[in-house]
Amino acid sequence: MSDQLFNEPKIYVTTAAKEKRKKINSYLIHIGLFIVTFITTTLAGVEWTTGQLPPYEFNMLANGLPYSISIMLIITFHEFGHYFAARYHRVKATLPYYIPFPTIPYFINFGTMGAVIRTKSPIYSKKAMFDIGIAGPISGFVVCLGILIYGFTHVPSIDYLIQIHPDYFSSDYGKDGYQLVFGDSILFSLLRLFLTDPNNFFPPMSEIYHYPYLCAGWFGLLVTAMNMIPVGQLDGGHISYTMFGDKKHFTISSVATLILALIGFAGIIDTMLELNLDIGWSGWLLWSFILYFVIKLKHPPVADLSSLDSKRIFLGYISFIIFVVSFSPTPLILKIV
């Protein structure tokens, strides 16, 4: 018996085998999060486009696909923009971690909180930091713009909205209830002005969420604006730091956070005093707190004294223009009709 115990073969797991197993597990996590997020955005899409709450019959899920595919495309291009820029500069980075958000009845829900990648090695040059920071929002914005253009040029007839709200033209429509209004941005307004026919029906901002491509594109602009705020380690912060240096970036970061907090505070005052001026949004106040206490205003130093070339500087200014035209001071308004 004792001889058998001593003679039993021992199994050794090599470092290479451990790394391979770890890599496979990592891929499974990324794929799993992608699938779950696709499901949650599809469910959110069904709710947005039909106005009905879950549970849903299986055949209804197709209604959520235009929204979920559009949202996933915007997020995926954004994150893989970062990823491929990191690979180009030989910076180790993870694949995107998609963040699902479950459908909660009577809760404003887009089905996801976006996605993130993590860099796993230091970034030693400003050029690399700039490229990695700007590649995401530019990539996501281009896809978002394409989806919006398609949405604005393929608005269905009024019959589509009447199927969702048969009483839409009734004088009692929406009375004694809450009305969710999407706020305008400069770009959204311009696209509506130039791409729609004023003689044809176009939904008001209180009904935009029923239109999957417009809803997804609107959400894409909101996410782009949130990421492009020139604060700390946000995408806009990376760009600002590499363009203007540490001191100027910190000043810009501080001022941007203060303005955001003021806009958020104005939204709270407007709501509490029932002024109905539709100025500001309390969510910006929350986001300013997250920027100040979690993300931090100061950008970590990059040990590189060189300046960016003129092409990157030009692209950086273009990215800030994208931020301005995508930003909405009052993205969400909840009214009692």
Q: Supply φ then ψ for residue 114, to 5 degrees.
A: 95, -150
- Look at residues 142, 184, 175, 169 and name the one whose alpha carbon lies nearest to residue 331: 184
Asked if residue 295 is part of any domain, the answer here is: yes
The dihedral sign for the CA sequence 136, 142, 144, 147 = negative
CA distance readout (Å), 74 to 77, 136, 222, 288: 5, 10, 12, 24
User: What pLDDT was estimated at residue 223?
Assistant: 95
* DSSP output for 34-51: HHHHHHHHHHHHHHHHH-
Residue 15 is encoded by which pair of tokens?
């470092």
In a domain, 4, yes or no: no
> Could you tell me if residue 197 is inside a domain?
yes
In this structure, the strands spanning 178-182 and 112-116 are unpaired
Burial class of residue 13 (count of CB atoms within 10 Å of its CB; 0-12, 13-18, 19+) = exposed
Burial label, 273 (beta-carbon count in 10 A; 0-12, 13-18, 19+): exposed
pLDDT at 8: 55
Structural domains in the chain (count):
1
Residues of the chain whose pLDDT is less than 70?
1-14, 106, 176, 337
Query: Which residues lie across from 181 on neighbouring strands?
Result: 333
Residue 5: inside a domain, yes or no?
A: no
Check if the beta carbon of residue 87 is closer than 8 Å to that of residue 18.
no
Residue ranges making up the domain that contains 305: 17-336
pTM, full prediction? 0.92
Tokens encoding 321: 């223009």
Asked if residue 9 is part of any domain, the answer here is no
- Please report whether residue 191 resides in a domain: yes
Query: Is 1 inside a domain boundary?
Result: no
Residue 11 forms part of a structural domain: no
